[in-house]
Amino acid sequence: MTEKTVYEHLRASGVSRRDFMKLCGTLAGMMGLEFAPPVKALGAVAGPDPAGLVAEALMSKSRLPLIWLELQDCAGCTEAISRSQSPSLVNLVLNSIAVEYHETLMAAAGFQAEASMRAMMEKYRGQYVLVVEGSPSVDADGIYCTVAGRSSLDILREAAAGAAAVIATGNCAAFGGIPKAKPNPTGARAVSDIVTDRPVINIPGCPAIPEVTTGTIAHFLVMGALPRTDSLKRPLTFYGHTIHDHCLRRPFYDAGKFAGSFDDDGARAGRCLYKLGCKGPTTYNACASLKWEKGLSYPVQSGHPCLGCSEPSFWDGGGFYQGQSAPVDRPAAAAAGIAAGAGIALGAALAAANGAKKRKAEKAEKAE
Ligand code: SF4
Ligand code: F3S
């Protein structure tokens, strides 16, 4: 018997055709489909209709099987995604993907859970998507992180071997994150250091933005392939711009108006947080455009500098409240003062470096 398509699952669970089309539109948005919608009113069609493309795929494909592993992590990315709202994890689980194994969310436990993972890996060999949250530990054969008596290293290698694609979600999986911070006592590594023979995509952040993870899963479901990435394996749709590029405090930065402390008049007036350590100019992520909590806000909007949580060496790259222009071993207070004096000039240098990085990503994108 052939498996039901996503559309058939939806219809069987009482979803109307109208709601199905709404879900397709939402998924197309989450995937960040880069082509323009048809401009019928002007008598011109600029490209394929994104929602139509998604609908076509969901009407012909069965649900995407998915395994979600947690290695050395705090489960923050799972926490965040279980609150994702468009499309919600619930919608994705019930309608578009089949999460066959997720240590934190699944009802099964112990031997039953392990048996379920094994059966699933066998049944969907070469077809499932493996999402990894947390970093594998490699020291002492991975003994510092074990699940059901096996090292996370073994579990990752085995699960990746049968996967069609691997999604490393969160800074820990993408770059090593806090487990890899000096002195890295467990030998934590990025997932892509271990999995080298399967397509791997990184969704860094601490936590990863839920809609970016679900958007990437949706892309694989619909297109059958991972989206285009930058040189750090991050999807360009979501990591093609810095926080600084779209920051709502940017006009203050351009005008050279900065907050000097968290409670001065500049802070109260919503001025740029660069001198308080903001890493927005060198941090690629979608926070400033997608935002968090149903589009409510993001750290900089809420009054806190960007910490650079989607970049490599997030924890070892310098003090959170240290100006980017300051040497990393200076006390934070002195650093803020130095950054205050040198802020604008160094900001220009950063902007230039930033521009070069962006041009490189764009060049790589064109080359593909
Ligand atoms: Fe926004 Fe930070 Fe850039 Fe200032 S430095 S404009 S607060 S991203
Ligand atoms: Fe992280 Fe900066 Fe966004 S700290 S959550 S990348 S604003």
- pLDDT tier, 336 (very low <50, low <70, confident <90, very high otherwise): very low
| pLDDT attached to residue 43 | 47
Reply yes or no on whether the pLDDT at 345 is more than 50: no
Q: pLDDT-based confidence at 136, cuts 50/70/90?
A: very high
Please tell me the least confidently modeled range out of 16-30, 135-149, 296-310: 16-30
How far is the C-alpha of 272 from the C-alpha of 285, rounded, in Å? 18
- Report whether 173 contacts 137 (CB < 8 A): no
Ligand nearest to the CA of 239: 2
272 lines ligand 1 (CB under 6 A): yes
Q: Is the CB of 58 under 6 A from ligand 1?
A: no
The C-alpha angle with vertex 122 and arms to 106 and 136, in degrees rounded to 5, equals 60
Is the pLDDT reported for residue 235 higher than 90?
Answer: yes
41-51 residue pLDDT tens? 444 445 567 78
pLDDT winner (highest mean) among 53-57, 150-154, 217-221: 150-154
Q: Tell me, in angstroms, the distance from the centre of ligand 2 to residue 170's CA.
A: 12
Q: Residue 342 — very low, low, confident or very high, per pLDDT cuts 50/70/90?
A: very low
Query: What is the rounded average pLDDT of the residues 21-36?
Result: 70
| Dist CA 343 CA 38 (whole Å) | 45
| pLDDT tops 60 at residue 338 | no
- Judged by average pLDDT, the poorest of 94-98, 141-145, 218-222, 253-257 is 94-98
Ligand 1 atom with minimal separation from the 278 CA: 2
Write down all domains in the chain, each with its CATH number in brackets: 6-35+54-239 (3.40.50.700), 244-367 (4.10.480.10)
Q: Which residues share a beta bridge with 272?
A: 258
Residue 278 CA: which ligand is closest?
1
155-193: pLDDT as tens digits: 999 999 999 999 999 999 999 999 999 999 999 999 999
Q: What pLDDT, on the 0 to 100 scale, is given for residue 197?
A: 96
Q: What is the CA radius of gyration of the chain?
A: 22
β-partners of residue 229 are 235
Give yes or no for residue 354 having a pLDDT over 50.
no
| CA of 255 relative to ligand 2 center, distance in Å | 23
Position in ligand 1 atom list of the atom nearest CA 280: 8
65 Cβ neighbours under 8 A, 6+ residues apart:
97, 98, 100, 120, 123, 124, 127, 128, 129
Selected residue with higher pLDDT from 320 and 325: 320
Instruction: Decide the pairing of beta strands 150-151 and 146-147.
Output: antiparallel
pLDDT at res. 330: 36
Question: Strands, E, within the chain: which ranges?
Answer: 64-70, 97-102, 129-133, 146-147, 150-151, 165-169, 200-203
At 81, is the pLDDT very low, low, confident or very high (cuts 50, 70, 90)? confident
* Neighbour tally for 349: CB within 10 Å: 13
- Which residue is closest in CA terms to ligand 2's atom 2? 306
Give pLDDT, residue 257. 97
From 283, 290, 304, mutation site for ligand 2 pocket: most ligand atoms within 8 A of C-beta:
283
79 contacts: CB under 8 Å, gap ≥ 6: 207
pTM equals: 0.82
Mean pLDDT estimate for the chain: 82
For ligand 2, atom 7, the nearest C-alpha belongs to 306
pLDDT given for residue 305 in this prediction: 96
Output the residue whose Cα is nearest ligand 1's atom 3: 244
Task: Summarize the chain as % helix, strand, coil (round to 5).
Answer: 45, 15, 40
Q: Which of 15-29, 255-269, 278-292 has the lowest mean pLDDT?
A: 15-29
Quickly tell me which residue has 């490189």 as its tokens. Answer: 360
Q: What percent of the chain lies above the pLDDT cut of 70?
A: 79
